Amino acid sequence: MVRFSPAFLQNSTQMPEHNEIVKLLGADADSLLNFKDPKISKDLIHLPHRDWVYRAFADSDRNPRVLVNLQRLYGTGRLKNTGYLSILPVDQGIEHSAGASFAKNKVFFDPENIINLAIEGGCNAVCSTFGVLGILARKYAHKIPFMVKINHNQLLTYPNQFDEVLFGTVKQAYDMGAAAIGATIYFGSPESNRQIQEVSRAFAIAHEYGLATVLWCYLRNPAFNDKDNKKDYHVSADLTGQANHLGVTIQADIIKQKLPENNGGYLYVQSKDKGFGKTDKRVYDELTAGDHPIDLARYQVANCYLGRAGLINSGGASGSKDFEDAVKTAVINKRAGGQGLISGRKAFQRLPADGNINKAIDEGAKLLNIIQDVYLDKEITVA
């Protein structure tokens, strides 16, 4: 395994520098930091709080063991006891293939380096597969909360299919000392009803065992993609918002969703097929305002029972501006009333400038730390 620097561990606890965040936001800084007019007031939102688990779940049907594990999640890492979450997810070895995911940083073929990146990076939890977490459970399950992803879409079937299938049982996650399970549903897909039933049953069992539940509320249907106008409504606020609402309905404690990039997905599909779904014009003029990303993300939060279930947005693919993109996403999520980011590829696919693969964990941790800095920065407030 790759060894990491104690000196960097000390640096990872330093408080954020606001000016650095502003610099990374660049031309978007004024629009994102000074937005003050969301259509849905923050007074209606259940906002992140240091005592979040008590505030959100004390009156719920979750048993005390679920509350304990939720507190493990919210009480670990640099963001501990803030009500915010920073989670490292690495299930791309299945979802995108191991070669495609780890060729750039081959050290992450070793599960121990994945777990150490989460620890070094100050994360609240590490999320990965039964295999990755199970092979090292006795060594690490007590050091950082484990979140076991229980279903996946694998790409070895030809032709490729897109269907999340179960890879193990809730009891396996419980036995390895996990604090939570995670699952994906492709809402809008032909397989979605089966996936809803499977994941709903798994979440009920998880709560019986005392595990927290996290749902990837993703959309998948070619009808959601307007190819003529090059607009992808898989990331529309109205459709992703409804996916979130379905997710909290099956008792996901935390919702993972892609950041909204547009709005009007319902309207687009209905223009092709009037029988599709239902919406209301007030969604577009009273609950959202234009295309400001914070307002669109606020609508996602509203669909998580007005924030009673925390919304974490995904970090997205790795690219040439990872730090800038990560900070922008974090600012939008925080100011919308969300609870954090779950960012994987931007962290584990980072190469050190000098090409030294042994510094891969340090490089990934820097990316995770700058995301966390946004949530620690008291100058960045909920809009």
Q: Is 38 exposed, middle or buried (0-12, 13-18, 19+ CB in 10 A)?
A: buried
Q: Which residues of 250-264 are buried (b: 16+ CB within 10 A; e: fewer)?
A: bbbbbbbbbbbbbbb
Spatial separation of the C-alpha atoms in residues 239 and 264, rounded to whole Å: 8
Residue 262 β-bridge partners: 236
Residue type, 93: G
Selecting among 256, 328, 359, 366, the annotated active-site residue is 256
Q: Tell whether the model's pLDDT for residue 288 goes beyond 50.
A: yes
Q: Which residue has the tokens 């492709």?
A: 186
Tokens at 104, concatenated: 């750039």
The pLDDT tens digits of the residues spanning 98-155 come to: 898 888 888 889 999 999 999 999 999 999 999 999 999 999 999 999 999 999 999 8
Average pLDDT for 264-271: 98
CATH code 3.30.420.40 for 6-376: no
Q: End-to-end alpha-carbon separation of the chain, Å?
A: 43
**Res 95: pLDDT:** 86
Domain residue ranges of the chain, discontinuous segments joined by +: 6-376
Q: What is the mean pLDDT of the chain?
A: 93
C-alpha radius of gyration, the chain, whole number: 20
Closest among 182, 199, 177 to 72, alpha carbons compared: 177
Residue 58 β-bridge partners: none
**Res 107: pLDDT:** 86
**Res 357: pLDDT:** 66
Spatial separation of the C-alpha atoms in residues 167 and 183, rounded to whole Å: 10
**Res 352: pLDDT:** 67
Ramachandran region, residue 277 (left: φ > 0; alpha: ψ -120 to 50; beta: rest):
left
Tokens at 32, concatenated: 């994102």
**Res 12: pLDDT:** 45
Highest-pLDDT range among 14-23, 318-327, 331-340: 331-340
Spatial separation of the C-alpha atoms in residues 274 and 266, rounded to whole Å: 10
Lowest mean pLDDT among 96-100, 300-304, 346-350: 346-350
What CA dihedral angle connects 132, 133, 135 and 141, to 10 degrees?
160
CA 250 to chain CA centroid, Å, is: 18
Q: How confident is the model at residue 8 (pLDDT cuts 50, 70, 90)?
A: very low
Residues 6+ positions from 275 with CB-CB distance below 8 Å? none
SS3 147: strand
Residue 186 β-bridge partners: 218
SS3 226: strand
Closest among 121, 113, 122 to 76, alpha carbons compared: 122
Q: Percent of the chain, pLDDT > 70?
A: 94
The pLDDT tens digits of the residues spanning 155-169 come to: 899 999 999 999 999
Q: Which residues of 52-81 are buried (b: 16+ CB within 10 A; e: fewer)?
A: bbeebbeeeebeeebbebbbbbbbbbbbbe
Q: How confident is the model at residue 1 (pLDDT cuts 50, 70, 90)?
A: low
**Res 341: pLDDT:** 97
Tokens at 353, concatenated: 């400038």
The pLDDT tens digits of the residues spanning 27-82 come to: 999 999 999 999 999 999 999 999 999 999 999 999 999 999 999 999 999 999 99
The pLDDT tens digits of the residues spanning 225-243 come to: 999 999 999 999 999 999 9
Give the residue with greater pLDDT, 147 vs 364: 147
Q: How confident is the model at residue 14 (pLDDT cuts 50, 70, 90)?
A: low
Spatial separation of the C-alpha atoms in residues 108 and 112, rounded to whole Å: 8
| CA angle centred on 151, ends 238 and 190, rounded to 5° | 50
Q: How confident is the model at residue 212 (pLDDT cuts 50, 70, 90)?
A: very high
Tokens at 326, concatenated: 């990560």
Is the peptide bond between 159 and the residue preceding it cis, with omega within 30 degrees of 0?
yes
Active site residue 256: yes
Average pLDDT for 334-358: 83
CA 288 to chain CA centroid, Å, is: 22
**Res 15: pLDDT:** 63
DSSP letters for 336-374: HT--EEE--HHHHTPPPTT--GGGHHHHHHHHHHHHHHH
